[in-house]
Amino acid sequence: MKKILFLLLLSLSLSAQTPIHKIQGSGGTSPLVGEKVIVRGIVTGTFLGKDRLNGFFIQEAEPDEDESTSEGIFIYDPAGKFNGKKGDYVQVSGQVAELKSPKSSLTQIKDITEIVTLSEKKKFPKPVVLNLPIENPEQYEGMLVKIKGPLFVTEMYQMGRFGQITLSVDGEGNAEGTDGRLDQFTQFHRPDPAAYRDYLAEAEKRKIILDDGSGLRNPSNLPFGREGHSFDMFHAIRGGDISKEVVGILDDRFDAFRIQPTEKVYFKPKNKRESTPGKLPKGTNLTVAAFNVLNYFNGDGKGGGFPTERGASSLEELKRQQDKTVNVILASGADVVTLMEIENDGFDEHSAIQTLIKALNEKSGGTRQFVACENPDRGWDAIVSALLYDSKKVQPVGAMVTMPDGYGSASFDSTRRKPVIQTFSTLKENEVFTVVGVHFKSKGVQSPGEGNEDLLDGQGRNNKLRVQQAEDLKNWLATRPTGTDDPDYILMGDFNSYAMEDPLIYLDEQGYHPLFPATSYSYVYDGFWGSLDHALATPTMKSQVKKAVKWHINSDEAPVLDYNMEYKSAEQIKSYYDASPFRSSDHDPIIIRLKLSTAR
């Protein structure tokens, strides 16, 4: 009698069971939302507790033949009813729901009333082997998958905040000479709305997020380091590092499909960390550099005045930032340095630039003696460009000059950041050259005027204004504002334009030629790599370049390593900082080695 009753109950249970593929359906959301169901499946991934995802994934032991429907589903279990393990065959009673974000919707079972472990001996499902692009990821939502590589680290912006990175694969859109990271369209292509739209659509399919199986912000443990280690100062992954494959659950939450790994992920170091920018080429007698110092503000210069308008929020943050910045400049070996994003607070002893110079000279132990080129009229933005030089190597020829108010189309007046120009002479060889520090208008907040809107051609906002700035700069330099007739000019800085955008093309046509190939990069934005930072030279100056280096100490590094203390846990602040050059800014410094000679 007991056996008959058991078989009857089992029969009723089976008849009431709803297959997972019926719940998932073939569309973006379940056709059974709101219905109470009983499901069975093998536990393929556990992410239990509030510090993780508050649940686990199950997958059908025997899939159906319809490839358009998924066989896996997420079980939302905040009450912690499940106390089993990966591989258990379970029966779950609950309600069908969708975990919705603006751009994603994950089918799940919530309001769980019962979880029963039926067996611990079911055959564990093999992961479905996939390659990017995945044409229809919905059909694998909630399933165990293996994404084949090589998979390149293309974005780490959210790693410290949410424990996630973005991976990408090589594709038709990538230019020759680059790896599988996503290229900025206008780094290699002339602006074109239709081509740009197609490029973004193709790039979107080539990437996927690798998550840490947690909803925590600022997690103290970041799992993705090199060679299977957790992320730390000794095993920090870098942009361009490679994973052969990733095994985990294909999840759809937080606005994008992602992999929640169920096995350790191994990243092979592909992009070597260089603690110096390399040896000086034989014959080099001068080094010039450009460095975006990521809002170097020093408070009131007396230990107070924090938080600052854009930079350090405290004296401790300033020290963290300053230690990194000083180490970068000294390690670069630069004799002349163009700075961008330094506080516009003059040149007195308490100014940001004098604070930085004092730290540089002290740290050099007397081997260097940096001096600021002074001109109070550098614009009226909170940040400006600046020029420093080592008085033991060069001397200024005349004073530093800035563009007059209202010059040309007044394009630099509207952005409040003027270019700065200084002619120098080397002390030993008496060779004359001129350095121009540049910081064009960004692609961020749109400036007034028709044509500054984003035309969706790849150049972003304010391209018209940046073209006007290029034109005004060229015309101003033609007047020889420092009074020198020497033709050796080098323009360095943040042009906020990628290599094939209008401002760079115009300046090249006007005789200021790029010193780097298009395959070089200095900045990553939203997973796309390119160069906003450039060095352009007149033909006579270009002929004297021994080596041009973009020192990849910043763009390739995770932002969690920077000086900032905001949006980080106490453990992150302690564990993910040192005074090394790495992640001293978000832009890579440019370093140009020269052999200046009158006879060329």
Q: Which pLDDT tens digits describe the chain residue by residue (600 residues)?
A: 444 444 444 444 555 899 999 999 999 999 999 999 999 999 999 999 999 999 999 999 988 888 899 999 999 999 999 999 999 999 999 999 999 999 999 999 999 999 999 998 899 999 999 999 999 999 999 999 999 999 999 999 999 999 999 999 999 888 999 999 999 999 999 999 999 999 999 999 999 999 999 999 999 999 999 999 999 999 999 999 999 999 999 999 999 999 999 999 999 999 899 999 999 999 999 999 999 999 999 999 999 999 999 999 999 999 999 999 999 999 999 999 999 999 999 999 999 999 999 999 999 999 999 999 999 999 899 999 999 999 999 999 999 999 999 999 999 997 889 999 999 999 999 999 999 999 999 999 999 988 999 999 999 999 999 999 999 999 999 999 999 999 999 999 999 999 999 999 999 999 999 999 999 999 999 999 999 999 999 999 999 999 999 999 999 999 999 999 999 999 999 999 999 999 999 999 999 999 998 865
Q: In the chain, where does the domain assigned CATH 3.60.10.10 lie?
A: 286-438+482-594
Spatial CB neighbours of 245, under 8 Å, sequence gap ≥ 6: 146, 147, 148, 149, 151
Predicted local distance difference test score (pLDDT) of residue 172: 86
Which residues does residue 183 pair with via DSSP β-bridges, in sequence order? 529
553 contacts 272 by C-beta, under 8 angstroms: no
Whether 56 contacts 78, CB under 8 Å = no
89-135 pLDDT, tens digit each? 999 999 999 999 999 999 999 999 999 999 988 999 999 999 999 99
* DSSP string across 255-304: TEEEEEESS---BB--S---SS--PPPTT--EEEEEEEEEEE--TTSSS-
Residues 6+ apart with CB under 8 A from 442: 462, 496
Give the N- to C-terminal CA distance of the chain in Å, as an integer. Answer: 105
Fold of 286-438+482-594: Deoxyribonuclease I; Chain A (3.60.10)
Both tokens assigned to 164: 């996630």
The domain 2-125 is placed in CATH, from the list 3.40.250.10, 2.40.50.200, 3.40.50.720, 2.40.30.160, at 2.40.50.200
* Distance separating alpha carbons of residues 46 and 248, to the nearest angstrom: 11
Q: Where in the chain is the domain with CATH 2.40.50.200?
A: 2-125
